[in-house]
Amino acid sequence: MPAAWMAGWLAVLAISALLTWGARHYALRRNLLDQPGARRSHGVATPRGGGIAIVLTLLLAGLAAAVLWPGARMALLVSGLGLVLVAGIGWWDDHRPLPAVRRLLVHVVAAALLAGLVWQASGNPWQALLALLFTTSLINIWNFMDGINGIATTQAILAGVAFALVMPPPFALAGIVLALACLGFLPFNYPRARIFMGDVGSGALGYAIAALVCLASVTTDIHWLLLLVPLSAFLVDAGFTLLSRMLSGQRWMEPHTQHLYQRAVKRGAGHTLVTALYFVFGLFSITVFNACSDLQPRWEAAVAVSWLTLTTGLWLLLRKGMRNQKDC
């Protein structure tokens, strides 16, 4: 491995950690604190907005990539603009809460930018439409699932590694940089949370991971269903929890503690343990993904459907075991 690449990766890690430290001091000065409550999973007031460090690190890395690969400048500019939009509306919401519809509109615009890149690269409008819907969904899924120490960050690290392992160079660097940017933030958030990611970070992470999925869809021959496998823990927990809330007539956009990981915490499992269990499941997911990424498309789709079905069954089994836990 060239020493220059190693130095660059260490720089990404250091910049993210330094910016997180700065974000924490900014939040303390501005009194940007998440207070404990019935619909939250933490017990002490904690600074928020630390995810801005991950966003800025990714933008700086994108700037460096634009210098190294001039041919990719337009794609980097468009995807970077989408990241700024998602992070910007999240930063605003962290300081002054906004209506959910207003945030969603910005998310759709950012997703449309990414979908446009997919259309340009693939020439397939249906693939672009799928990218639009998927990106909009994943921005909000990552936001919904960022409820306990380290869970959103560790799952993002796993996703970055998973896609870096299957994409050709230099595209694989996008996954490595995302994983390192998250790794620099992680010690401030796990196992003890000295700062939360905030909406600025959780939504932006969802967008960044969606961008990785879209990049993998146009730079590899992997079936799009298999590309969902590294994200299966979050997709299943968020998807079915939100579906159950909708079917029961609840206001699904409101904060709650009904996700499986939140129910586990309410039953007495610590943040550290629950995040670790999700991480272990994520390791299994990316192992299946990597092992099956060279199969014929129909077999990749079959593996993906089987894995997502298995994940859904596990979710239903665990949720049934917690059915006596009072919802909030």
As for how many domains the chain has, the answer is: 1
What's the CA gap between 202 and 146, in Å, rounded? Answer: 6
In a domain, 183, yes or no: yes
Q: Is residue 327 part of a domain?
A: no
Q: What is the pLDDT of residue 28?
A: 92
Residues in the chain: 328
pLDDT for residue 307: 97
Domain that holds residue 31: 3-321
Q: Is residue 328, in this structure, part of any structural domain at all? A: no
Inside any domain, residue 106: yes
Q: Give alpha helix (H) positions in the chain.
A: 3-30, 52-68, 73-95, 100-122, 125-145, 151-166, 172-185, 198-219, 232-247, 260-266, 271-292, 297-321
Q: In the prediction, which pLDDT does 268 show?
A: 79
Is 149 inside a domain boundary? Answer: yes
Token pair listed for 146: 């960022």
Considering the entire predicted model, what is its pTM? 0.94
Residue 30 belongs to some domain of the structure: yes
Domain contains 55: yes
Per-10-residue mean pLDDT of the chain, 328 residues long, equals 80 97 94 70 78 97 95 96 97 89 95 97 95 96 90 97 96 97 96 92 96 97 96 93 73 70 84 94 97 95 97 90 58
Distance CA 77, CA 198 (A): 24
What is the per-residue pLDDT for 328?
A: 45
Structure tokens at 120: 């340009």
- Whether 326 is covered by a domain: the verdict is no
| pLDDT for residue 79 | 97
